[in-house]
C-alpha cells in the first residue's frame, strides 16, 4: 500500500462560533473550492464525492476546479449483532478492506466476513447501477484524487474510503470537507497527503448544525448531479 508523503499540510480553521457557516451544501462546496485552488485544471485531478450528502459539495468543487467528478461508494462491514462496529469496508472498484485488529480481537471467521461482504456488495452494486448506469468507474492509479463529503463527525466512512482508495495506487489523496470535528481532522491528516477542513467548531455536535439548510439528498439528486457533471466538466 502506498504511504502518504511526509510533506503535507493540514489546513483547518478552528472556531467556536455557534451559528451556521453555510447556506447549504452548494454554498459549502463553492467555499471549499476556494481553498483547493491549487488543484484547478490539474491534468490528473479527479473529485470523488461520498454519497449521498457529499455529492452536492463535490459537484461545486469539481465545477470550480474544472475537474472530473464521480462517486466513490463505501459500505461498512458491521460486526454481526454490533453493526455500528466496523470490521472492514468494501468500496467502488471491488476493493475490500478488513480491520484485522477487530477481526482478531473478536475472533471473527472469514466465512462471517464473506457473508457480510456479500450482502453489502449487493447494495453497493445496486447503488453503482443507479448512480453510474453502464459507465465504468474512473481510473484511480496515478491520479490526484480529492475525496469530498459534507462534513466529518466520526470520520469512519472517510477512513474506509481512504483505505480503499489507497489500494488503487493514486498519486495523491486529498480529503476536503467544509466542517469537521478538529480531532477527526487531525487523525485524517495522518492518513492522507493533504487535508482541508474549512471549519472545526468546538463543541462540534453534528454536521447538519453548521448548515442553514441540510435536507436529505435523494438517489435521484445524486444521479442528476453526476449526469450534469458528465455533460459539463472536462
Closest CA to 189 of 1, 35, 15, 6: 6
Q: Is 140 helix (H, G, I), strand (E, B) or coil?
A: coil
Q: Could you give the CA distance from residue 177 to residue 195 in angstroms, rounded to a whole number?
A: 8
| pLDDT, greater one: 6 or 202 | 202
Q: Could you give the CA distance from residue 234 to residue 230 in angstroms, rounded to a whole number?
A: 8
Q: Could you give the CA distance from residue 79 to residue 45 in angstroms, rounded to a whole number?
A: 35
* Segment 104-163, tens digit of pLDDT: 999 999 999 999 999 999 988 888 888 887 778 889 999 999 999 999 987 877 888 998
Q: Could you give the CA distance from residue 214 to residue 23 in angstroms, rounded to a whole number?
A: 9
Q: Could you give the CA distance from residue 168 to residue 72 in angstroms, rounded to a whole number?
A: 12
Across the chain, where does the E strand assignment appear? 9-15, 45-49, 68-71, 74-79, 82-91, 95-98, 144-148, 172-179, 194-201
| pLDDT, greater one: 17 or 114 | 114
Percentage of the chain exceeding pLDDT 70:
90
pTM score: 0.80
* Segment 176-204, tens digit of pLDDT: 999 998 998 999 999 999 999 999 888 88
Number of helices and strands in the chain (H, E): 7, 9
Q: Could you give the CA distance from residue 44 to residue 40 in angstroms, rounded to a whole number?
A: 11
Amino acid at each position: 500500500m502506498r504511504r502518504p508523503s511526509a510533506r503535507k499540510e493540514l489546513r483547518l480553521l478552528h472556531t467556536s462560533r455557534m451559528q451556521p457557516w453555510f447556506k447549504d451544501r452548494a454554498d459549502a462546496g463553492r467555499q471549499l473550492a476556494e481553498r483547493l485552488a491549487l488543484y484547478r485544471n490539474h491534468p490528473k485531478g479527479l473529485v470523488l464525492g461520498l454519497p449521498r450528502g457529499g455529492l452536492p459539495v463535490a459537484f461545486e468543487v469539481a465545477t470550480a476546479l474544472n475537474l472530473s467528478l464521480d462517486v466513490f461508494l463505501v459500505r461498512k462491514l458491521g460486526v454481526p449483532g454490533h453493526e455500528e462496529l466496523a470490521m472492514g469496508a468494501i468500496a467502488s472498484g471491488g476493493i475490500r478492506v478488513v480491520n484485522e485488529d477487530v477481526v482478531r480481537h473478536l475472533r471473527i471467521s472469514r466465512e462471517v466476513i464473506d457473508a457480510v461482504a456479500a450482502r453489502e456488495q449487493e447494495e453497493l452494486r445496486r447503488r453503482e447501477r443507479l448512480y453510474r448506469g453502464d459507465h465504468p468507474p474512473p481510473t484511480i492509479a496515478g491520479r490526484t484524487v480529492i475525496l469530498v463529503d459534507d462534513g466529518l463527525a466520526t470520520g469512519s466512512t472517510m477512513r474506509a474510503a481512504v483505505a480503499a482508495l489507497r489500494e488503487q495506487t493514486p498519486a495523491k489523496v486529498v480529503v476536503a470537507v467544509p466542517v469537521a470535528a478538529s480531532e477527526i481532522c487531525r487523525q485524517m491528516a495522518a492518513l492522507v497527503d493533504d487535508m482541508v477542513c474549512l471549519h472545526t467548531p468546538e463543541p462540534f455536535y453534528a454536521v447538519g448544525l453548521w448548515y442553514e439548510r441540510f435536507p436529505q439528498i435523494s438517489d435521484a439528486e445524486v444521479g442528476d448531479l453526476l449526469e450534469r457533471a458528465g455533460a459539463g466538466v472536462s
